[in-house]
């Protein structure tokens, strides 16, 4: 069974320090199949920094680093301080916004070499981007406009929402095409990332997803497949009612399968969609890994594999990045369980 491994920066530091190995050595030791290229290098206009320690990201969204202690380690996150389009009331204001990014702001020159280095080791080359620049539509709109406001716009001011999402889509279509061209046929999977669900249900209805996000989703998938690249999409939360729409637009692999989210039972998803869609993830980072024993972690893996692996079409991984509050022994139990239960016979 193919294996992937996702961890936060906090866990990366804690784990590799405890084991005294490099990340590459750790991944090799545990036969992790999917490897992620660094992608293009930002060479655009300098991103502004402010006296309070906050700084602007690619989209002109101001962010502040927030550090969270986790007992024997720390996590850090880039929290939004200011959404620059929050006060906009007209499409004209959206159109004249002076920080729409350009695909020309990146150097794509060594992407083929990044892919080749991974594939030469018999691994799968994946492009994901970083957390603040991942092929998406809704999440950048949330950062630019504010989470609540963009959802209100989609209901009450659709012209504003369409204008923002159109600019985001235009950038990512150009950016992705440049990445895929530069990969020169050596990129295996592209991972898009856009959260469509909360823990209790989807953030948008199927109708609203179709109206605002469906065409862009299809365009991203179509572009990747024109280069022979498989498409994986990450979304947290309860998205059961959106899965048929993603399948209709050509999605190959659905990532996350957050098991605590409503309607995301692995057995039910496999039964209903397994003939048309591969799955990635599904192992909880909310319960067993941070709070369970190594034996409970093994039980979690065994249960997910029994639900999702039969017949193929499953990539073993956690639902999201393993956080720094997870004991090292539980991480090692997770990987041991992959080996113990992950063989097709």
330 pLDDT band, cuts 50/70/90, is very high
Cα→Cα distances 277→12, 51, 215, 216, 310, Å:
30, 48, 19, 20, 13
pLDDT value of position 273 = 98
From 175, 165, 174, 163, select the one nearest 143 (Cα to Cα): 165
- 241 CB-contact burial (10 Å; exposed 0-12 / middle 13-18 / buried 19+): middle
> What mean pLDDT comes out for the span 294-318?
97
Distance CA 260, CA 282 (A): 9
For 108-152, strand residue ranges (E) read 124-127
**pLDDT per position as a tens digit, 262-271:** 999 999 999 9
Share of the chain above pLDDT 90, in %: 97
Identify the three-state secondary structure at position 25: helix
Residues with Cβ < 8 Å from 29, sequence gap 6 or more?
21
**pLDDT per position as a tens digit, 118-142:** 999 999 999 999 988 999 999 999 9
DSSP-assigned letters across all residues of 94-120? HHT-TT---GGGEE-TTHHHHHHHHHT
70 pLDDT band, cuts 50/70/90, is confident
**pLDDT per position as a tens digit, 7-37:** 999 999 999 999 999 999 999 999 999 999 9
- CA 175-203-275 angle, to 5 degrees, is 75
Q: What are phi and psi of 234, to 5 degrees?
A: -95, 125
Distance CA 236, CA 234 (A): 7
- CA 248-251-254 angle, to 5 degrees, is 120
Cα→Cα distances 279→77, 214, 314, Å:
27, 20, 5
> What mean pLDDT comes out for the span 179-189?
98
pLDDT value of position 132 = 87
pLDDT value of position 73 = 87
> Is 345's pLDDT higher than 90?
no
pLDDT value of position 287 = 94
Distance CA 311, CA 308 (A): 9
For 130-236, strand residue ranges (E) read 189-193, 230-234
If one counts every other C-beta atom within 10 angstroms of the C-beta of residue 132, the result is: 14
Asked if 292 contacts 330 with a C-beta cutoff of 8 angstroms, the reply is: yes
pLDDT value of position 93 = 98
- CA 23-80-135 angle, to 5 degrees, is 60
Cα 234 off chain centre by? 4
Tell me if the domain spanning 33-44+86-281 has CATH number 3.20.20.210: yes
């Amino acid at each position: 069974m193919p294996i992937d491994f996702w961890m936060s920066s906090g866990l990366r530091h804690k784990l590799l320090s405890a084991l005294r190995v490099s990340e590459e050595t750790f991944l090799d030791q545990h036969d992790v199949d999917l490897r992620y290229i660094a992608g293009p290098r930002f060479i655009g206009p300098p991103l502004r920094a402010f006296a309070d320690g906050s700084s602007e990201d690619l989209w002109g969204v101001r962010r502040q680093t927030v550090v969270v202690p986790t007992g024997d380690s720390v996590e850090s996150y880039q929290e939004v301080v200011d959404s620059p389009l929050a006060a906009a009331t007209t499409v004209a204001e959206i159109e004249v916004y002076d920080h729409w990014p350009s695909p020309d702001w990146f150097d794509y020159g060594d992407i083929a070499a990044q892919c080749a280095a991974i594939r030469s080791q018999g691994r799968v080359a994946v492009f994901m981007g970083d957390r603040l620049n991942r092929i998406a539509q809704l999440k950048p709109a949330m950062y630019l406009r504010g989470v609540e406001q963009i959802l209100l716009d989609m209901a009450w001011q659709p012209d504003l929402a369409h204008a923002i999402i159109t600019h985001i889509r235009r950038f990512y279509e150009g950016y992705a095409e440049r990445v895929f061209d530069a990969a020169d046929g050596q990129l295996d999977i592209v991972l898009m990332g856009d959260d469509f669900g909360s823990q209790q249900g989807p953030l948008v209805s199927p109708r609203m997803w179709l109206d605002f996000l469906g065409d862009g989703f299809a365009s991203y998938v179509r572009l990747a497949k024109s280069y022979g690249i498989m498409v994986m999409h990450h979304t947290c939360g309860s998205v059961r009612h959106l899965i048929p729409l993603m399948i209709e637009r050509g999605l190959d692999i659905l990532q996350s399968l957050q098991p605590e989210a409503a309607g995301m039972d692995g057995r039910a998803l496999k039964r209903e969609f397994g003939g048309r869609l591969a799955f990635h993830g599904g192992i909880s980072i909310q319960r067993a890994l941070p709070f369970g024993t190594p034996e409970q972690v093994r039980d979690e893996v065994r249960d997910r594999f029994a639900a999702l692996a039969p017949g193929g079409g499953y990539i073993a991984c956690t639902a999201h990045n393993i956080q720094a509050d997870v004991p090292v022994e539980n991480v090692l139990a997770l990987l041991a369980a992959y080996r113990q239960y992950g063989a097709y016979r």
